[in-house]
Amino acid sequence: MSTEEEDLTIDPAFQPSADDVSYDLQRALSSVVALRSQISEDALTASMLGTERAGHGVVIGEKGLVLTVGYLVTEAESIWLVDINGLAVPGHAMGYDQETGLGLVQALGQLNVPAIPLGSSSDLAVGDPVILAGHGGTQNATKAKVVSKREFAGYWEYVLDEGIFTSPPHPSWGGAALINADGELCGIGSLFVQQSLPGSERHDGNLIIPIDLLKPILDEMMQFGRRQKAPRPWLGMITTEVDDALVVAGLVDGGPADDSGISVGDIVLGVNGEPVADLANLFRQVWALGSAGTQVPLNLQRGADQMDVVVNSVSRYDMLKAPNLH
């Protein structure tokens, strides 16, 4: 996962025009703002995501409430937002949800742009036309289609039960707005992905976080900075799928897995004696053991030896630097 996106232009043939849609295209695109954040060098996420991050946010509230992808604002010391008119205002990281990967920013000045209405991501079907829009109007928006809706698991202990996959890809995807045929926000851009679909060649595209995941937690995020249920256990273990095996590819320095003696190259065979089939299955088995703080028994293979290691999990929120989102 990276926030370093190349400054690529979108082919004019893929840029939307007012004739392509039945809603006010310029109004919808003007809800997308540029977002830049600065993170301390000693922040937990600095080594993986960098200390200077850039992407987009989408105004969803008339008082300057901005929705974005969480990795742009996690541990941010400062945030700046720029609207379609070039007006720059500071922002405050209001909330971050580890489970969905969504983040909220409150503009600390007047953004002279409208809020976009929220649509229904569950109503989107494979084949539906959409627009994926970054800040900058039609020149930074692309016409796309929904090519898949399926599970996604990320090595940073993350699972979407049903992510939205679109193609062709937007070259500056982080925090971009997925807009449906009614001009409503249906998701937030998260990743560039390559995927193979049944009966087709490999597709380059984007993973989109569905907007329906925001709706049940929006009020809690605005009031408390995160959802109010107990956080999931976090291991600080980067795990990848290699030749049908789950291999530890990295460890967060000072994290629970690092402290427990797990090593890069270890193969995860199971959780508490139950075999794991894939990355999503691994994470779900860990989360099923309880909330953050629970002990997580992992069954590992190291070289020719099999071994059991108990990891004392923590809340990832407790590892993050200010702003404090408790």
Last residue of a domain, one of 203, 225, 247: 225
Is the domain of 96 the same as that of 117?
Answer: yes
CA separation (Å) from 213 to 121, 152, 258? 9, 14, 31
Q: Is residue 325 part of a domain?
A: no
326 within domain boundaries: no
**One domain for residues 13 and 140:** yes
Partners of residue 79 on adjacent β-strands: 37, 91
For residue 134, tell me if it sits in a domain.
Answer: yes
Q: Would the pLDDT of 324 be above 50?
A: no
- The pLDDT-based confidence of 7 (bands split at 50, 70, 90) is very low
Tell me the C-alpha distance between 69 and 56, whole Å: 8
Domain C-terminal end among 225, 254, 272:
225
pLDDT of residue 200: 59
Does position 128 have pLDDT exceeding 70, yes or no?
A: yes
Pair (306, 221) in one structural domain? no
Supply the range of the domain harboring residue 287: 237-319
Please say whether the dihedral angle defined by the alpha carbons of residues 208, 211, 213 and 219, taken in this order, is positive or negative: positive
Across the chain, mean pLDDT equals 93
Answer yes or no: pTM beyond 0.85: yes
Residue 153 has pLDDT above 70, yes or no: yes
Contacts of 69 (CB under 8 A, 6+ apart): 55, 101, 102, 103, 174, 175, 188, 189, 190, 209
Q: What is the CATH number of the domain that holds 282?
A: 2.30.42.10
Q: What is the bridge-based pairing of β-strands 274-275 and 141-154?
A: unpaired
Q: Are 233 and 290 within 8 A, CB to CB?
A: yes
Query: What CATH number does residue 111 fall under?
Result: 2.40.10.120
Mark whether 95 and 203 lie in a shared domain. yes
pLDDT digits (tens, 9 = 90+) for 12-45: 999 999 999 999 999 999 999 999 999 999 999 9
Q: Are 238 and 249 in contact (CB under 8 A)?
A: yes
Name the amino acid, one letter, at 167.
S
Residue 114 pLDDT exceeds 50? yes
290 and 157 in a common domain: no
Cα separation, 318 vs 309, in Å, equals 23
One domain for residues 17 and 127: yes
* Domains contained in the chain, number: 2
Regarding whether 70 and 34 lie in a shared domain, the answer is yes
Residue 231 resides in a domain: no
Residue 163 sits in the same domain as residue 271: no
For residues 91 and 193, state if they share a domain.
yes
Which one of 225, 256, 274 terminates a domain?
225
| Shared-domain flag, residues 88 and 206 | yes
Q: Residue 122: pLDDT above 80? A: yes
